[in-house]
């Protein structure tokens, strides 16, 4: 072996040693600590690269994470916020928010915190929305179908197909989806309304409102019992004379 070969071999060994030392030093280095950072977007990933959370500004807000890929969501371009992502790389909730003054001089704003059923849409939502000079805030609880049997992408695809049908066929197609449990059903709605009232609506497993508790903005409380067609069957309210509750009665026609 020539002296030149010995020299090159020594250089190579030294280089490998330097890289190994650098890697070991990096592995043992303490986590970085920052007093303040400014970023456009943060992607939180597992050691294997699986995406678990995204915090983003409006300009870089993501599409929908789905099984490690993405589903385009151009409708999200007006929001900033955070997305939660489950173990398979699919979105399972998040926080979105926006707020600005529109051309009419009134606030156009909203915040929504949601939690989704696996491979489905939201089952719990905290919502505040403003627009046109009116505001409402509410808690929404929904039923969603088993996402391992019929997921949100299949539902979106089916709804697109139904919308291509003749109007006379659409209602029947949507009813069939409803009967199979393939559409979301609202079960609980608690919040304020745009006209200043507060209300609690309770629905059955088919999403039909059956009980309504309400207090109007001017202080008139009422309890309404609804039949399976959504019609008010009985009403309990305060008598106008002494504030005593009156007996439930059928709705006035």
The pLDDT score that the predictor gives to residue 194 is 84
Residue-level pLDDT, tens digit, the chain, 253 residues: 555 554 445 545 455 555 555 655 656 667 889 999 999 999 999 999 999 999 999 999 999 999 999 999 998 889 999 999 999 999 999 999 999 999 999 999 999 999 999 999 999 999 999 999 999 999 999 999 999 999 999 999 999 999 999 998 999 999 999 999 999 999 999 999 888 999 999 999 999 999 999 999 999 999 999 999 999 999 999 876 555 555 555 555 4
Q: Is there a domain that residue 97 lies in?
A: no
pTM beyond 0.75, yes or no: yes
The residues, ordered by sequence, that sit 6+ positions from 220 with a Cβ below 8 Å of its Cβ are 237, 238
* 165 domain-assigned: yes
Phi, psi values for residue 16, rounded to 5°: -60, -40
Distance, in Å, from the CA atom of 224 to the CA atom of 206, rounded to the nearest integer, reads 18
CB atoms within 10 A of CB 187: 17
Give residue 103's region: left, alpha or beta (phi > 0; psi -120 to 50). Answer: alpha
For residue 67, give both structure tokens.
């099984």
Specify if 113 maps to a domain: no
- Counted domains in the chain: 2
Angle (nearest 5°) at CA 74 between 70 and 77:
110
234: in domain: no
In the chain, what's the furthest Cα-to-Cα distance?
Answer: 114
Rounded to 5°, the CA angle 210-215-221 comes to 85
pLDDT confidence of residue 31:
82
Q: How far is CA 185 from the centre of its chain?
A: 15
Q: How far apart are CA 251 and CA 224, in angstroms?
A: 9
Asked if residue 105 is part of any domain, the answer here is no
Domain end, chosen from 135, 153, 182, is at 182
pLDDT value at position 67?
Answer: 96
pLDDT of residue 71: 96
Sequence-distant (≥ 6) Cβ neighbours of residue 140 within 8 angstroms: 122, 124, 125, 126, 127, 186, 188, 189, 191
Query: Is residue 94 in some structural domain?
Result: no
Domain that holds residue 164: 145-182
For residues 52 and 85, is the Cβ–Cβ distance under 8 A?
yes
**What is residue 176's three-state secondary structure?**
helix
| Residue 17: inside a domain | yes
175 within some domain: yes
Cβ atoms 153, 160 nearer than 8 A: no
């Amino acid at each position: 072996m020539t002296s030149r070969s010995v020299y090159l071999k020594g250089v190579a060994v030294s280089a490998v040693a330097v890289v190994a030392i650098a890697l070991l030093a990096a592995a043992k280095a303490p986590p970085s600590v920052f007093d303040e950072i400014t970023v456009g977007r943060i992607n939180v990933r597992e050691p294997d690269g699986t995406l678990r959370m995204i915090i983003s500004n409006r300009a870089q807000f993501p599409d929908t994470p789905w099984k490690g890929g993405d589903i385009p969501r151009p409708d999200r371009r007006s929001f900033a916020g955070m997305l939660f992502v489950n173990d398979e790389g699919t979105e399972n909730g998040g926080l979105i928010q926006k707020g600005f003054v529109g051309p009419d001089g009134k606030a156009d704003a909203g915040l929504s915190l949601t939690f989704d059923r696996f491979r489905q849409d939201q089952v719990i939502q905290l919502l505040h929305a403003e627009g046109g000079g009116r505001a409402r805030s509410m808690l929404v609880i929904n039923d969603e179908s088993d996402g391992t049997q019929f997921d949100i992408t299949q539902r979106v695809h089916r709804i697109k197909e139904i919308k291509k049908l003749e109007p006379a066929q659409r209602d029947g197609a949507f009813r069939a989806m409803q009967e199979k449990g393939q559409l979301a059903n609202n079960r609980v709605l608690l919040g304020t309304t745009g006209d200043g009232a507060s209300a609690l609506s309770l629905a059955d497993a088919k999403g039909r409102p059956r009980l309504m508790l309400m207090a109007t903005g001017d202080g008139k409380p009422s309890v309404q019992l609804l039949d399976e067609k959504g019609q008010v069957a009985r009403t309990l309210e305060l008598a106008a004379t002494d504030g005593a509750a009156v007996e439930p009665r059928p709705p006035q026609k």
